[in-house]
Amino acid sequence: MVKMIVSDMDGTLLDSNKNFPPDFDQIFQELKKRGILFVAASGRSYPKQREIFQPYLEDMFFICDNGASIIHHDQWLYKNTLPREKLEKLLTACEQIPNILPILCAPLNCYYQPYSPAFEPYLRSYFSTGNILNDVYSVSEPILKVAICDLQNAAVNSYPKLKHELDDELNLVVSGELWMDAMNPFVNKGKALQFLQKKFSISPAQTMVFGDFYNDIEMLARADYSFVMENANDDMKQYGRWIAPSNDHYGVTREIWKYLSSADCFLT
């Protein structure tokens, strides 16, 4: 029996217009009634996730910043912050790469340098709060991760350059077409999910996970009920036991309804 359902947000639970499936509230209330935990797992920081899930905050958990933090009831269950020397080395390396904007993600704030208007829609979409600083090296607040918005495509521009420079020191992951993230080694959504599984004595056999991108690979491996979305890149589909309908066809809620209607249907 599934006791925990974990879903990525962008490209997975949310459609292309960043909206919930029309039946999400009904699904959420049904999971609550059955005592099944719901976890949103995202590269997004907590303030933006909190804004999106406002009606459901009391009854769910958040894996944020690609696994660098876990929150419930506005309380941090887990944080993993970047050492100062690694942060500064990363920022120095970013200065050599054109058309990118590093965003320092603290628990409740983010920090970035003055930017060109081309970055504005992406910042507005993914961050609720922001502080523009001429000198981001001056930030003294603990930083969970650095998100990098890359207008030239993260997979071909910033990611290979930073991986060559910093692969031994940071976990670098492409988290979207224009996004990559840098966290401490071994920080990922899978490790965060493992923390919650241990906390609540929930096994992979009792866990259902939905994802669509490379930053979801580790958490898909932590669930026997693992779904990769139809809209995912083809090379992602090997990481799920099943393929769910696309995010624009509300694959997450469709597969959850299917499970709730026939609890053993995926294992027969």
Residues 260 and 129 placed together within one structural domain of the fold: no
Residues 219 and 257 placed together within one structural domain of the fold: yes
- Please report which confidence band the pLDDT of residue 268 belongs to, taking 50, 70 and 90 as the band edges: very low
Closest C-alpha among 85, 257, 75, 67 to residue 173: 67
Task: Name the residue range of residue 151's domain.
Answer: 84-183
Residues 147 and 210 placed together within one structural domain of the fold: no
Q: What is the mean pLDDT of residues 78-107?
A: 96
pLDDT > 60? residue 264? no
Distance CA 212, CA 189 (A): 13
Residues 57 and 115 placed together within one structural domain of the fold: no
Residues 58 and 72 placed together within one structural domain of the fold: yes
Closest C-alpha among 80, 84, 85, 126 to residue 103: 126
Residues 196 and 220 placed together within one structural domain of the fold: yes
Mean pLDDT taken over the chain = 95
Tokens representing residue 214 in the block: 């490379």
For residues 170 and 187, the answer to whether their CB atoms sit within 8 Å is no
pLDDT at 62: 98
pLDDT at 112: 95
Q: Where are the beta strands (DSSP E) in the chain?
A: 4-7, 37-41, 61-64, 69-72, 75-79, 100-105, 110-112, 131-132, 145-150, 171-176, 179-183, 207-211, 225-229, 242-244
Residues 88 and 57 placed together within one structural domain of the fold: no
pLDDT at 263: 57
From residue 43, give the alpha-carbon distance in Å to each of 151, 213, 265. Answer: 18, 11, 31
- Beta-carbon count within 10 A of 11 CB: 20
Tally of domains in the chain: 2
Residues 261 and 234 placed together within one structural domain of the fold: yes
pLDDT at 248: 98
Share of the chain above pLDDT 90, in %: 93
Residues 214 and 241 placed together within one structural domain of the fold: yes
Residues 210 and 256 placed together within one structural domain of the fold: yes
pLDDT at 176: 87
Residues 179 and 100 placed together within one structural domain of the fold: yes
From 134, 159, 183, the end of a domain falls on 183
Rg (CA), the chain: 18
For the stretch 171-190, pLDDT in tens is 999 988 999 999 999 999 99
pLDDT > 80? residue 123? yes
Q: Which residues contact 131 (CB under 8 A, 6 or more apart)?
A: 109, 110, 111, 112
Q: What share of the chain is helix, strand, coil (3-state, %, to 5)?
A: 40, 25, 40
For the stretch 196-249, pLDDT in tens is 999 999 999 999 999 999 999 999 999 999 999 999 999 999 999 999 999 999
pLDDT > 50? residue 266? no
Neighbour order of strands in the sheet with 171-176 = 131-132, 110-112, 100-105, 145-150, 179-183, 171-176
For the stretch 47-71, pLDDT in tens is 999 999 999 999 999 999 999 999 9
- Please report which confidence band the pLDDT of residue 124 belongs to, taking 50, 70 and 90 as the band edges: confident
Residue listed under structure tokens 């920090």: 111
Domain containing residue 221: CATH number = 3.40.50.1000
For residue 174, what is the DSSP state?
E
Distance CA 108, CA 129 (A): 8
From 164, 183, 202, the end of a domain falls on 183
Q: Which of 104-113, 128-137, 205-214, 216-225 has the lowest mean pLDDT?
A: 128-137
From 167, 183, 199, the end of a domain falls on 183
Q: What is the pTM of this model?
A: 0.91
Domain containing residue 153: CATH number = 3.30.1240.10
Residues 204 and 73 placed together within one structural domain of the fold: yes
pLDDT > 50? residue 267? no
